[in-house]
Structure 1
Amino acid sequence: MNILDCINEKRSVRAYTDQQVSNETIHQLLTLGTKASTGSNEQPWGFVVIQGKEEIQKLSEDTKTYLLRNLDAYPYLKQYESWLLNPTYSVFNHASTLIAIYGNTKSHWYLYDCSLAAGNIMLAAHSMGIGTCWIGFAEHTLNTKEFKEKYRVPSEYELVCPMTIGYMKSKLTSPERKVPEVFNW
């Protein structure tokens, strides 16, 4: 698949098959992620890869519990309360692989660099027939001291992108987008 087709067709995927993405493929995707542009060549990214539906489902339940207890602190999430209350809803879309991208805060550009790495991973995965989805709900639980200690993430690293990854249950149609808003030309 050429890059233009990949960009035009890529969608966030929220339904995966049970087929596990191989360790080799995950390693290849992480390597492609690190080919992203990086400010001052600092390459401030670090990754946590979690595989296995049981562990990811437990993280989903922990995330739902946390968000429901703290909805007042996150008014932008109030609209999703019914999802969070639904016992069958999975924050991580029932995926069997979760990649968390962390950035070293010693780099001024860590947010940008890690976001570019995430974009590379998402586009590369799509070109391989693998779906991905940036999981905004997870930003509160995958960046806690407890989580970072459990998964050996150094304290100076902050979560940038929690991403589910897996083989798509069905091919999605190309996304429709608004015409670019140009403020000045």
Structure 2
Amino acid sequence: MEVLECISGKRSVRAYTDEVISKETITKLIELGTKASTGSGLEPWGFVVIQDKEEIDSLSEATKQYLLNNMEKYPYLSQYESWLKNPKYNIFNNAGTVLVIYGNKESHWHVYDCSLAAGNIMLAAHSMGIGTCWIGFAEALLNTKEFKEKHGVPEKYELVSTMSMGYMKTKMTPPERKKPLIFSK
């Protein structure tokens, strides 16, 4: 897929087949992610790959419960309260793979750099027929000391991006966007 076609056609995907993304493909996507620009050449990223369906489902339920019990801390999520209360709703879209990107806080640029890496991964995945969706709900639990200790994430790293991933169930139409707001030419 040509790069401009890939950028123009990429969308957030929330419906995946049961086909497992191979470890080799995940590794390749992460390597492509790390080709992103990086402030001061620091490359502050680190990754956690979860492909255990039980763990993914358990994290979804725990996150939903935590958010519902702490909604006052997350007023911007109140519009999603009915989703979080729905027992069939899975915050990871029932994906077979969840990729978590952490940034080393010792780099001033870690959020930018890791976001650029996430963008590379999402575009590369799209070009391979793999859908992705950035999961904002996940920050509530995947940046906790307990989760990071379980997955070997050093304390100096903080969560930047969590994405569900899987082979797309259907081909999606390109997204429609508003005209860009350009302040000065």
TM-score, normalising length from structure 2?
0.99
Residue of structure 2 equivalent to 1:144: 144
The aligned counterpart of 2:109 is 109
Q: Which runs of 4+ in 1 moved over 3 A?
A: none
Cα distance, 1:72 vs. partner? 1.0
The aligned counterpart of 1:8 is: 8
Letter in 2 for 1:127: S
Deviation at 1:8, TM superposition (A): 0.3
Identical residues among aligned pairs (%): 69
Letter in 1 for 2:104: N
Deviations 1:129-179 (A, max 9, x none): 000000000011100000000001000000000011100111111000000
What residue ranges of structure 1 are gaps of 5+ in the alignment? none
Match runs of 1:147-166 below 5 Å: 147-166=147-166
CA displacement at 1:52 relative to structure 2: 2.3
1:173 aligns with 2:170: no
Alignment of 1:72-111 (within 5 A): 72-111=72-111
Corresponding residue for residue 119 of structure 1: 119
* Counterparts of 2:52 and 2:154, CA distance in 1: 23
Q: In 2, distance between residues paired with 1:183 and 1:28? A: 38
What is the distance in 1 between the residues matched to 2:116 and 2:171?
25
Secondary structure class of the residue paired with 2:153: coil
AA matched with 1:160: V
1:29-85 deviations in whole A, cap 9, x for unaligned?
Answer: 000000000001000000000002211000000100110001111111001000000
Name the CA distance, whole Å, in 1 between partners of 2:42 and 2:140: 26
1:124 aligned partner, one-letter code: A
Report the RMSD for the aligned CA atoms in angstroms: 0.5
Mapped partners of 1:149, 1:8: distance in 2: 38
Q: Which residue of 1 aligns with 2:20?
A: 20
Would you say how many aligned residue pairs link Structure 1 and Structure 2? 185
Show structure 2 runs of 5+ residues with no match. none
Give the structure 1 partner of residue 46 of structure 2: 46
Q: Secondary structure of the equivalent of 2:142?
A: coil
Deviation at residue 10 of structure 1 after TM alignment: 0.2
What TM-score, normalized to structure 1? 0.99
- Write the distance in 2 (CA, Å) between the matches of 1:123 and 1:29: 9
SS at match of 2:152: coil
